[in-house]
Structure 1
């Protein structure tokens, strides 16, 4: 397993990490992802550790905290062997303080997560969304106190826009508070929006990307393509509505390219899609999920080899779309590109 620094920090993380969103499986979304219990979770953790995957990602909103509970049970007795990443800020209920990133909410959320995980510290704690109702100064001062108390080691964000991250980094630097070093983002061959703003920001400011849904919300499993629409009983009908829409022709164009590269490499479509991400700038780790041992071992086969430059170019060409203003001039007009060369 290859390890990389998480952004501009000294923390080394594996290039593949395991997403525990399939653990417990409560509620309409997470039950569609999976419903892994404690015994199977222990087995999946065993396989991960054998392969060198020691970073496990979860969130308080995953199955209303049950994912954290199952993960805590699965790593019991080997806490010193693993890194835990979790998140908070999204609503856990309708109460006035059951959502957001206020001081009250974050302190309570961290303490509850520690209890469910059965640990005294969280290695990477991320805000799951920007809270426009709470001053950035309050959020960062609270995170600083939690780091000083030893409850958090590193902090990051997820689902933030570029200006929200940059404002937070400026405030943190002004006060000497911990800077965000992780940005957990959606990024795949079907969704390359990350490259327009957040990737250059990450390169410039030292945020490492923790990539979620690398298979485009389940569309790049190798089971969907031209002549093979989403099967009637597929879980994708339940989960895809939560992700960005993808036009059929764009999906088929990307799948065609993946299948062509698969024929050249002998690798599977998912392995190629993940390997492509591992060659992208700023990516520290790609979060893989699995409902069972077979899926996990398949995803673990995405490392230990590399696509050729020609194969990368094939995938790039098939997956590229026109960037929105003001980004498109920098990709399409030579004068703009000279001033601001893309991050590659």
Structure 2
């Protein structure tokens, strides 16, 4: 395993981060989830990402059980707050002081931990003053319940505002967690330059574009049985990419991967890690073997010639419009 500093902090995280967004507490049985966590640990992964909203709090519980007997100081554990949880009452969502304080306590109880290394605002909240949110985060840090703070899917201007407030409060905003892949590059023109300037790193999710960059979805053919694309909910979120044009372009990556002696999925992970502002790539797993395969991406080095080949292969289907990272007009519930 290789490690990188998260932002301008002294915290090092594993380049491959185990995330449990769509798996723990929902798609896989707890025994399988525990086996995946054990595989992650055995292959050097020390960083784990979750959120209170995943499986409506169940994912945190499963992860806490899986890590219960591990040395806490040897782990970096991240969670998030924003989306509605529990009975979804009027104060069960957003970034108000009330929701943040109650959510961090709930997350720590489910994780069976005294603190998390990184506490992240899962979205920007247009209905709560940013000053209130940042003061609440500062109090969470000062209480020892979180060591650092981060954001997820925030545009560059909001990251700048939050960073200024965090600095004035004496706390460290060190990370951004956006979607990023060969196909989805909306953070490159604004979020990444702003983050580099302010000392934040990216923790990127969906580096394989929901599995599309593994090459398993073929143009003109139905999604493989048991895949996310074959699942009704998964297919709805992937529909804009599951076009023959995109899937045909992705197949152009196969000879590049073959030339490097890797899978297309490993190529996709190596690609996001080639960006120096990316500290780690989030990967999930429904089987331990997937962890083993993903970690092999760290052995792949992509030089400028290979990166140019990749752009030539799929550049015409890339989404890079920075306006796609935007603040909603109302709170997302």
The TM-score, its normalising length taken from structure 2, stands at 0.89
Q: Which runs of 5+ in 2 are unaligned?
A: 324-333
Number of the residue aligned with 1:164: 158
* Matched residue SS, 1:300: helix
- Find out whether 1:210 has 2:203 as its counterpart: yes
Q: Which runs of 5+ in 1 are unaligned?
A: 27-33, 327-344
Number of corresponding residues: 318
Cα distance in 2 for partners of 1:312, 1:254 equals 15
From the superposition, tell whether residues 322 and 108 of structure 1 become closer, same or farther in structure 2 (CA, over 3 Å): closer
Number of the residue aligned with 1:119: 113
Query: Pairwise mapping of residues 231-310 of structure 1 onto structure 2 (< 5 A)?
Result: 231=224, 234-237=227-230, 238-242=233-237, 245-246=240-241, 248-310=243-305
- Is the contact between residue 254 and residue 315 of structure 1 (CA under 8 Å) also seen in structure 2? no
* Matched residue SS, 1:181: strand
Select which of 36, 44, 48 maps to 1:52.
44
- Is the contact between residue 180 and residue 207 of structure 1 (CA under 8 Å) also seen in structure 2? yes
| Deviation per residue, 1:200-252 (Å, 9 max, x gap) | 11111111110101111221222123454424664324214235822625523
Cα distance in 1 for partners of 2:129, 2:281 equals 31
Number of the residue aligned with 2:32: 40
Select which of 141, 150, 156 maps to 1:147.
141
Number of the residue aligned with 1:192: 185
Q: CA deviation at 1:323?
A: 5.0
Number of the residue aligned with 1:99: 93
Number of the residue aligned with 2:329: none
Number of the residue aligned with 2:83: 90
Cα distance in 1 for partners of 2:214, 2:320 equals 26
Number of the residue aligned with 2:327: none
Query: Pairwise mapping of residues 215-230 of structure 1 onto structure 2 (< 5 A)?
Result: 215-230=208-223
* Matched residue SS, 2:123: coil
| Deviation per residue, 1:164-214 (Å, 9 max, x gap) | 1111112223x2332321101100111111112111111111111101011
- Is the contact between residue 24 and residue 58 of structure 2 (CA under 8 Å) also seen in structure 1? yes
Q: CA deviation at 1:91?
A: 1.4
- Is the contact between residue 25 and residue 35 of structure 1 (CA under 8 Å) also seen in structure 2? yes
From the superposition, tell whether residues 324 and 127 of structure 1 become closer, same or farther in structure 2 (CA, over 3 Å): closer
Q: CA deviation at 1:264?
A: 0.7
Cα distance in 2 for partners of 1:308, 1:262 equals 13
- My pick for the range that moved more, 163-172 or 262-271, is 163-172
RMSD over aligned Cα atoms: 2.1
- Find out whether 1:128 has 2:122 as its counterpart: yes
- Choose between structure 1 and 2 for higher RCO, CA contacts under 8 A separated by at least 6 residues: 2
Number of the residue aligned with 2:18: 18
The TM-score, its normalising length taken from structure 1, stands at 0.86
| Deviation per residue, 1:33-52 (Å, 9 max, x gap) | x2240x33332222212221
Cα distance in 2 for partners of 1:191, 1:325 equals 10
Cα distance in 2 for partners of 1:151, 1:105 equals 15
* Matched residue SS, 1:217: helix
